[in-house]
Amino acid sequence: MRIPGRQLQKSPYAVAALLVLMLLATTLTGCQNRAATGTVNSTSADVDGMLAAPAGIAASYLTGQKLYLSDSNCLGMPQFLDGTLYTFSHDATYHYMQMIAWEQATGKKLWSTSISDGYYVEPLVSDGKHLFFLNHSTLTCLDRTTGATVWKNPASAASPFPFLALSGISMHINTQTHLADRLYLLGEEVRYIYSDSVVEEKGRQGVWIFDAATGKSLGRIDWPALTLSANSGQLLCDGETLYASIPELDGSTSISAKSKYPAQKSSLAAFDVNTNKMLWKESVDGEAANLVKQGSTLVFIRSAAYADDWLDVWKIGWTSRSAKRLWTRKVETVLVETTPEKWPITSFAVDSKHVYLQGNKGALTALDFATGKEIWKRQFASSRTGLVGALVNTMDYGKMIDLNPDMILTTAGSVLYVQDGGGLVAALDQATGKELWNKRISKVVWYPSEEGKDGLFVLQFVDKGFYVIFSDGKVDLWK
């Protein structure tokens, strides 16, 4: 959401809230959709969408957990996976985090486990039997039924260089057991030497491969040109091929700049998962993020410092050794304060026929998947909210402002779900953009302080319905 008149400058608190919304988008659909062969699409929910408005709340329960959805550290972010709800709470020191599993349908508490040094936990991934997550560059595997630790692997234990993971976990699923047999991480070994200036020493860099059953290292695909920037690369596995967006090192860029700005260049590469051999590599301007594979096509946002962001659509697999860009479209961004640092304001979703792209000031556009031609466009209204919070100027307390949408988009069957970021959920016909229904779930209140926002929630779509969990731990099933 954007405060009017501040499109070119943004407070740190607004940035923190935007990061929360981005993380909400990553946790929205749980496991990546694999309904179609070769499809790994986190913007799609493999359920029947709701063609008619929900009648109301069919079931409700309380977890009793305070979920800090607007916390700038992203603590307490819930996730729905495999029919289970996972919540996180922390102690007063923020040094220990409790992870709790709940039966999604009933709210029955299944188990809880303590995660030490739990400042931040990357989004969970699951193969149905195990949960895998990355915390402070330590890989952990839990039994999904009991929460017991199956194994834990500090990736840097065998090296004098600390291991820095640059991407979340990507899994390879064994086609016979239907369980994960390999885990992939993009990372590097690096340590800093502090004297008159900060000097970095690098060890091994590349794509790290771990045995999903034991956590032991299975090797590495060496890649010596990584840019040192946490969460700047991405991996995606479709079962046969591992796709990688790898930021490339710019020797003229300072360490602090590398951690703040997207890389000017990156590689888009594909590897055979059986041999770890590279199939093809293409150079792209900027960093490729939010990878979606729909059939034989890759879709992602391409972002670079001092440049515009673009939506890229690439055809892959048309030969075994190459890929080509089908089309690209400029997307809108905002500047953070007075620096060249940019944060994408766009959300996108993909199905077999369209790419849905958020524009500025509440515009939503459907583009033809094959050509990029505009099919329809729909305008969403801003929402009115009051300014509250400890740091608000007394004269501005309760002042009403217009907040433009920052959307989360999800496809389900023939329905496109749109969350406007202000508490409204709408369902659109994918072919025409016609609104099927809308429902206000909450009223988001803006806090221009460390508190961020109130009234945020996370959705999990199910067949002809959806679950909602709020920051107070309440869960509602809408049907």
- Over residues 466-477, the pLDDT tens digits come to 999 998 899 999
Domains of the chain: 12-478 (2.130.10.10)
The answer to whether 134 touches 169, Cβ cutoff 8 Å, is yes
Residue 119 has pLDDT above 70, yes or no: no
Looking at the chain, the whole-number percentage of residues with pLDDT higher than 70 is 71
Residue 323 has pLDDT above 50, yes or no: yes
At 383 the pLDDT is: 73
Looking at the chain, the whole-number percentage of residues with pLDDT higher than 90 is 47
Per-residue pLDDT band at 335 (split at 50, 70, 90): very low
Per-residue pLDDT band at 222 (split at 50, 70, 90): very high
Residue 7 has pLDDT above 60, yes or no: no
User: Which one has a higher pLDDT value, 6 or 180?
Assistant: 180
Q: Is the CA virtual torsion 318, 324, 326, 330 positive or negative?
A: positive
Predicted TM-score (pTM) of this structure: 0.85
At 415 the pLDDT is: 97
Average pLDDT of the residues of the chain: 79
Residue 81 has pLDDT above 50, yes or no: yes
Per-residue pLDDT band at 168 (split at 50, 70, 90): confident
**Can you tell me the mean pLDDT for 252-281?**
77
Long-range contacts of 419-425 (CB under 8 A, 24+ apart): 419/459, 420/362, 420/380, 420/383, 421/1, 421/21, 422/1, 422/383, 422/385, 423/383, 423/455, 423/457, 424/383, 425/459, 425/466
**Can you tell me the mean pLDDT for 400-428?**
89
At 337 the pLDDT is: 36
Per-residue pLDDT band at 386 (split at 50, 70, 90): low
At 109 the pLDDT is: 96
Per-residue pLDDT band at 51 (split at 50, 70, 90): very high
User: Which one has a higher pLDDT value, 67 or 363?
Assistant: 363
**Can you tell me the mean pLDDT for 300-312?**
82
At 288 the pLDDT is: 86
Per-residue pLDDT band at 202 (split at 50, 70, 90): low
User: Which one has a higher pLDDT value, 256 or 321?
Assistant: 321
Most confident of 76-90, 250-264, 379-393, 405-419: 405-419
**Can you tell me the mean pLDDT for 159-171?**
82
Residue 10 has pLDDT above 80, yes or no: no
